[in-house]
């Protein structure tokens, strides 16, 4: 049977992040991708120029259309900017008994533009996070979710991952891409275990959409039936190679995208 994943996220008109990055990732990893668009952005490699939220009834209609027809095996959730959107998505996933849900709690774009309404953080924490399989915050997002200072080392990353577990998360991938040092270290934190994943830190200006790409790569692995640990490991390897190849692209005048199709062209 064809592996199918759906991304529930915002659209990036510049093509490097959001829905566009997710669908590219699904395709590159051999998974059929469907989409539910939660917001439109006027965006390019230089930043976000505008955001237009999709009405919640139309978000619900998209969810119902996709899940009533397609055999969805995994879900990636990205940009949800308003409490009503979060509640609508949570209700839709529950209505259709969605499985293998990966939540990337997108709050701030790489350009520094805030994408998540501050009032939505509480809704995200209480309504959606306890219902998904995995959340994938970077250091800034984890700090915002917990109202804590940004973790400065692995011990603090682990402590914040465990705090998120205590607040209802089933599994947390603490992403260390915003850290320092020669290695980029992520921690996969579960209630009873911790796995450390590291890769060489790659210096490049083309890092737009890496968080979207990682979470959708994990969802792709889950859609193909991989266990969570293996899906996370293979996704990190894919993203590392995509970042390493990103300088082969010449896209825009700012932070360019990763190279999703590095293995193909």
In order, the DSSP letters of the chain are ---EEEEEEEEETTSSSHHHHHHHHHHHTT-EEEEEEEEEEEEETTEEEEEEEPPHHHHHHHHHHHHHHS---EEEE----SHHHHHHHHHHHHHTT--SEEE----B-TTS-B-S-TTHHHHIIIIIGGGSSEE--BHHHHHHHHT-PPP-SHHHHHHHHHHHHHTT-S-EEEB-TTS-SSEEEEEEE-SS-EEEEEEEPP--S--BTHHHHHHHHHHHHHHTT--HHHHHHHHHHHHHHHHHTGGG---SSSSPBP-TTTTT-
Q: What is the pLDDT of residue 113?
A: 54
Question: How sure is the predictor about 183, in pLDDT bands with cuts at 50, 70 and 90?
Answer: confident
Percent of the chain residues topping a pLDDT of 90? 82
Tell me: the pLDDT tens digits for 190-217?
999 999 999 988 988 898 999 999 999 9
**Domain annotation covers residue 254:** no
Q: What is the pLDDT of residue 147?
A: 87
Q: Which domain holds residue 9?
A: 4-248
Quickly tell me which residue has 């800034």 as its tokens: 140
* Average pLDDT value for residue range 56-78: 98
Quickly tell me which residue has 């699904």 as its tokens: 26
Question: How sure is the predictor about 109, in pLDDT bands with cuts at 50, 70 and 90?
Answer: low
Phi, psi of 146 (to 5 degrees): -100, -5
Least confident of 46-50, 74-78, 176-180, 225-229: 176-180
**Domain annotation covers residue 237:** yes
Number of domains the chain contains = 1
Instruction: Specify burial of residue 72 (Cβ count, 10 A radius: 0-12, 13-18, 19+).
Output: buried
Tell me: the pLDDT tens digits for 122-131?
899 999 999 9
Q: What is the pLDDT of residue 160?
A: 97
**Domain annotation covers residue 175:** yes
**Domain annotation covers residue 260:** no
Question: How sure is the predictor about 153, in pLDDT bands with cuts at 50, 70 and 90?
Answer: very high
Least confident of 136-140, 165-169, 176-180, 251-255: 176-180
The structure tokens listed for 150 are: 């940004």
**Domain annotation covers residue 205:** yes
**Domain annotation covers residue 8:** yes
Give the angle subtended at the CA of 200 by the CAs of 47 and 224, to the nearest 5°.
Answer: 80
Least confident of 37-41, 176-180, 182-186: 176-180
How many Å apart are CA 54 and CA 57, to the nearest integer? 9
Residue 111 has pLDDT above 90, yes or no: no
Residue 180 has pLDDT above 70, yes or no: no
Of the candidates 107, 97, 102, which has an alpha carbon nearest to the alpha carbon of residue 76? 102
Which of 12-26, 100-114, 143-157 reaches the highest mean pLDDT? 12-26
The residue ranking higher by pLDDT, 120 or 262, is 262
* Average pLDDT value for residue range 13-30: 97
76, β-bridge pairs: 7, 102
CATH number of the domain bearing residue 188: 3.40.1190.20
* Average pLDDT value for residue range 234-248: 96
**Domain annotation covers residue 75:** yes
Residue 112 has pLDDT above 60, yes or no: no
Report the mean per-residue pLDDT for the chain: 93
**Domain annotation covers residue 33:** yes
């Amino acid at each position: 049977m064809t592996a199918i994943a759906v991304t529930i996220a915002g659209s990036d008109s510049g093509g490097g992040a959001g829905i566009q990055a997710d669908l590219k990732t699904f395709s590159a990893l051999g998974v059929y991708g469907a989409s539910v668009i939660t917001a439109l952005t006027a965006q390019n490699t230089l930043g976000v120029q505008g955001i237009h939220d999709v009405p919640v009834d139309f978000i619900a209609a998209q969810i119902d259309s996709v899940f009533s027809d397609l055999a969805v095996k995994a879900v990636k959730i990205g940009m949800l900017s308003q409490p009503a959107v979060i509640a609508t998505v949570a209700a839709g996933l529950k209505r259709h008994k969605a499985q293998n849900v990966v939540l990337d709690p997108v709050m701030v774009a790489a350009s520094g533009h805030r994408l998540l309404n501050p009032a939505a953080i509480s809704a995200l924490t209480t309504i959606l996070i306890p219902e998904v399989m995995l959340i994938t915050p970077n250091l800034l997002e984890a700090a915002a979710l917990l109202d804590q200072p940004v973790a400065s080392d692995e011990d603090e990353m682990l402590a914040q991952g465990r705090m998120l577990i205590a607040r209802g998360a089933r599994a947390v991938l603490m992403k260390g891409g915003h850290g320092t040092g020669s290695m980029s270290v992520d921690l996969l934190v579960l209630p009873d275990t911790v796995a450390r994943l590291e890769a060489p830190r790659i210096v490049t200006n083309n890092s737009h959409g890496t968080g979207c790409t990682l979470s959708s790569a994990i969802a792709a692995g889950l859609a193909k039936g991989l266990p969570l640990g293996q899906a996370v490991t293979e996704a990190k390897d894919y993203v590392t190679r995509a970042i390493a190849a990103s300088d082969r692209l010449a896209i825009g005048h700012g932070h360019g995208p990763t190279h999703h199709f590095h293995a193909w062209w």
